[in-house]
Structure 1
Amino acid sequence: MKIVSFELKGAQRFGVAREDGIVDLTDKVQAKSVREVLEQGALGQLGSMARDAAADHALDAVQLMSPVPVPGKIICVGVNYNHRNEEYKDGTAPPQYPSVFPRFPSTLVGHGRPLICPVPESTQLDYEGEIAIIIGKRGRRIALQDAESHIAGLTCMNEGTVRDWIRHGKFNVTQGKNFDESGAIGPWMVTADEFSGFDKLEVITRVNGEERQRDTTAHLMFSFAFLIHYISRWTTLEPGDVISTGTPTGAGVRFDPPRFLSEGDVVEVEVPGIGILRNPVKNG
């Protein structure tokens, strides 16, 4: 099931996306957003209501938003594909724990909306195609064997990065990861029951149709379950929270010379089984 948040005539709404359009469930359940649906444990209710209902809107008649427009937390994982650790060529062993950093909701736009290259500050906007986990139920100190039961679903993410700004601080990358509208997420959340497992999912990134990144979660150093287990040891995970699980090799900064994004480019992040997140780039 594809859970979607969207904007129609200036109002935020949500429902279930299908091939024939969107079943709008905003006024049919006791929740005002996907986050509230998750908090109420009511995903199954959405599926039951949408099963035999007619579509209300064509997909191209609405503006898609982040699947959870205002998550409580967005936690990103850096250097999680084992080839990425080798990419640094610093001779270090694989890390014992994941590297993590926060993003703010204002940094991520929905499918179809432009990514903003902040030209007054930088021309080094880069792409990072990732798979993002959306948390479905609250948990703290979640046991490893229970971790996957906390996944509501998965979505695509472009964890856009302003490269020169991640080097401003000695110990953090937060600045370069949090420019407004520098990344994207969507187009929808595919519920966890649609996947037989999470260890062989593929992520592909294209810029203007040219493939730049491709890898599978079989190469993750830290699995989805371990990330949930580890992160929940130091912060309570709540319904609607997002964990972005890392990007493969092939980001623009790794080319010689680097191939950063510029106005007019189009970035696609594809995860088979989820869909394609597509965004143009413009200066701002």
Structure 2
Amino acid sequence: MKFINFEKDGKVSFGAVRDDKVVDLGGRLGDDIRTVDDLVVHGLVNAAKDIAATLEPDIALDQVKLLKPILKPGKVICVGVNYANRNEEYKDGSEVKKYPSIFMRTPGSLVAHGENLVRPPESEQLDYEGEIVLVIGKAGRRIPESEAYSHIAGLTIMNEGSIRDWIRHAKFNVTQGKNFERSGSLGPWMVTSDEVTDYSNLRVQTRVNGETRQDDTTANMMYPIAYLVNYISTFTKLQPGDIIATGTPTGAGARFDPPVWLKPGDIVEVEVNGVGILRNGIEDEVV
């Protein structure tokens, strides 16, 4: 089932999407359950599915404004260079590392489906990175790979937008270039984990103005999803509402010769089979 946070007539609520219509669940699981975040944190995803299945939709999907599926993630954890051909894409002669590259993003660096990514005045090098995102639904530390999937509440999609030259400002980190305000996006909804039949064969595609730029499957991940949950939970306790962006395939704009950066008016779509399509335009920041 698909769950969304949405705004309608100035009111924020959450609901389930069924046949392009929305079952508004605001207040139906208790006064303190008002967002998808609340569902996940309180372990009520299955209860919400049961209730939504018995109710008629309240409104058409195109009549609401979609918000980020997780409005206030506790942690936004990102994985770098995770598809087999991405290491070669760097053309730096380096060998594949034994362990994944990990960095963090701030919630304010991400907008919702349908909103514009913002190119800052400090750089023209705004780039796209389509990624599959895990929404953690059960807390855990040092989670065994054999139990990893039971800790996932669902999946969503990220355009892990990056300001490329700011990634290279320092020797040992990428934080600056990965955290410009509203440079990436998350959405359009969270698809519950029971809808995922095979984590090892999820396909992610990124299109810019209709042109396919990235196209790969999780079968080519160097660090598979279960391993990532195990590895990340070794150094930090994963909590319900945390999200993990699992890496992007080859084909980002920085890898073209010459590089092709996003510009105002462009439309970027990231599609994951079984999850949906995350779509965003581009605009310049007004300062």
Tell me if both proteins adopt one fold, taking TM over 0.5 as the criterion.
Answer: yes
Aligned-partner Cα distance in 2 for 1:158–1:213: 12
Q: If the length of structure 1 is used for normalisation, what is the TM-score? A: 0.98
Correspondence list, 1:257-272, <5 A = 257-272=258-273
1:109 — aligned with what?
Answer: 111
Q: Whole-Å Cα distance in 2 between the matches of residues 61 and 143 of structure 1? A: 43
Please state how far the C-alpha of 1:97 moved relative to its aligned partner: 0.6
Tell me the amino acid that sits aligned with residue 105 of structure 2.
Answer: R
In structure 2, the partner of 1:185 is: 186
* Unmatched runs of 5 consecutive residues or more in structure 2: none
Partner of 2:88: 86
Q: Distance in 1 between matches of 2:12 and 2:169?
A: 36
The aligned runs of 1:196-207 (5 Å cut-off) are 196-207=197-208
Whether 2:54 is the aligned partner of 1:71: answer: no
Give the Cα–Cα distance (whole angstroms) in 2 for the partners of residues 142 and 20 of structure 1. Answer: 36
The structural deviation recorded for 1:92 is 2.4
Aligned to 2:161: 160
CA–CA separation in structure 2 for the residues paired with 1:252 and 1:11: 38
Structure 2 CA distance for aligned equivalents of residues 228 and 92 of structure 1: 25
The aligned residue for residue 59 of structure 1 is: 61
How far apart, in 1, do the equivalents of 2:274 and 2:190 lie? Answer: 11
RMSD of aligned residue pairs (Cα, Å) = 0.9
Shift of 1:93: 2.2
CA distance in 2, matches of 1:64, 1:246: 24
Partner of 1:38: 40
Q: Which amino acid aligns with 2:2?
A: K
Q: Does 1:24 align with 2:60?
A: no
Q: 1:117-196 residue pairs with structure 2 within 5 A? A: 117-118=119-120, 120-196=121-197
Deviations, residues 4-58 of structure 1 (Å, cap 9, x unaligned)? 1112222221110111411010111121221221122111111111112111121
Q: CA deviation at 1:275?
A: 0.7
Instruction: For 2:25, give the aligned amino acid.
Output: L
Helix, strand or coil at the partner of 1:196: coil
Shift of 1:148: 1.1
Structure 1: distance between partners of 2:254 and 2:214: 12
Quote the Cα distance in structure 2 between the aligned partners of 1:94 and 1:161.
22
Q: Corresponding residue for 1:2?
A: 2
Q: Report the Cα offset of residue 94 of structure 1.
A: 1.5
Point out the more displaced range, 102-111 or 86-95: 86-95
Q: Is there any run of 5+ residues in structure 1 with no aligned partner, and where?
A: none
User: Does the CA contact (< 8 Å) of 1:65 and 1:110 recur in 2?
Assistant: yes
Partners of 1:156 and 1:217 in 2: CA distance: 14
C-alpha contact 1:80 1:246 (8 A) present in aligned 2:
yes
Deviation digits for residues 78-136 of structure 1 (CA, Å, limit 9, x no counterpart): 00001001112223222111101000111111110111011x21111000001000001
Q: Matches of 1:34 and 1:137 in 2, distance apart? A: 14
Counterparts of 2:135 and 2:275 in 1: how far apart (Å)? Answer: 13
Q: TM-score, normalised by structure 2?
A: 0.97
Q: Distance in 2 between matches of 1:194 and 1:155?
A: 12
- Output the amino acid matched with 2:256: F
Secondary structure of the residue aligned to 1:149 is helix
**More divergent stretch after superposition (10-19 vs 127-136):** 10-19
Q: Residue 274 of structure 2 corresponds to which residue in structure 1?
A: 273
SS at match of 2:23: strand
Q: Is the 8 A contact 1:20 1:55 kept in 2?
A: no
Deviations 1:128-177 (A, max 9, x none): 00100000111111111111110111111100001111011111000000
Q: From the superposition, tell whether residues 250 and 20 of structure 1 become closer, same or farther in structure 2 (CA, over 3 Å).
A: closer
Shift of 1:216: 0.3
Q: SS where residue 214 of structure 2 aligns?
A: strand
Percent identity between the aligned chains? Answer: 57
Distance 1:91 1:253 in 2: 17
